[in-house]
């Protein structure tokens, strides 16, 4: 017999196994990586140090995106400040120049806007790259998976993976020391 979660009629999402501690999960991940799987993931209550290498993933792109965000913020500020002050409606204020000499007075706002837009890009960039918010997910069909936010560790290899075949994957996970190996269906 095999235990499964979700609606049996629904297509298979993948096969998942449970691990007891971060260490086991870490080594399991290394093996899965070496086995050459593509579409799989490990799940843990907290980020595990060094797991990226263990899964053989490159650095997140987020940094570069945020840089662009910051640049946008900065340029917005420059236009926002010089536009009105020097071009749209130049006024004599305290005998101060409207040319480049006035930059010191403009700096604070440039800085703030740079930060603001960067921060927005960082957060929303992260969410989008993580495909969040996504309230419904096949894994949520599996009751044991609830523990992932408490103290349990999981591995899931998705059906979308070219090397995926339910039987072999189940055995493979078993060999890695995974428990409660379960086939996850959608709903």
What x-and-dash track marks residues 73-112 binding another protein by CB under 8 A?
A: -------xx--xx--xx-xxxxxxxx--xx--xx-xx-xx
Size of the site for another protein (CB under 8 A): 82
8 binds another protein (CB under 8 A): no
Tokens of 72: 């946008």
56 binds another protein (CB under 8 A): no
Contact yes or no for 30/51 (Cβ under 8 A): no
* Residues 6 or more apart whose Cβ sits within 8 Å of residue 182: 3, 4, 5, 15, 16, 17, 142, 144
182 binds another protein (CB under 8 A): no
Helix axes 62-82, 103-129, angle to 10 degrees: 150
68 binds another protein (CB under 8 A): no
What x-and-dash track marks residues 121-160 binding another protein by CB under 8 A?
A: -xx-xxx-xx-xxxxxx-xxx-x--xxxxxx----x----
Helix (H) / strand (E) element for 158: namely: strand 153-158
Q: Minimum distance from CB of 61 to another protein (Å)?
A: 9
């Amino acid at each position: 017999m095999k235990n499964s979660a979700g609606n049996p009629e629904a297509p298979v999402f993948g096969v998942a196994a449970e691990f007891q501690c971060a260490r086991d999960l870490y080594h399991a991940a290394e093996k899965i990586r070496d086995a050459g799987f593509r579409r799989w993931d490990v799940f843990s209550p907290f980020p595990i140090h060094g797991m990226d290498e263990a899964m053989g993933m490159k650095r997140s792109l987020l940094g570069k995106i945020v840089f662009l965000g910051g640049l946008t913020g900065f340029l917005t500020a420059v236009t926002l400040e010089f536009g009105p002050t020097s071009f749209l409606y130049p006024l004599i204020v305290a005998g101060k120049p409207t040319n480049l000499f006035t930059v010191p007075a403009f700096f604070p706002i440039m800085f703030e806007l740079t930060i603001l837009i960067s921060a927005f890009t960082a957060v929303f960039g992260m969410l989008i790259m993580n495909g969040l918010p996504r309230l419904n997910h096949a894994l949520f069909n599996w009751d044991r998976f609830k523990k992932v936010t408490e103290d349990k560790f999981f591995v899931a290899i998705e059906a979308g993976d070219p090397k995926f075949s339910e039987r072999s994957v189940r055995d493979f996970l078993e060999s890695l020391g995974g428990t409660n190996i379960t086939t996850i269906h959608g709903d």
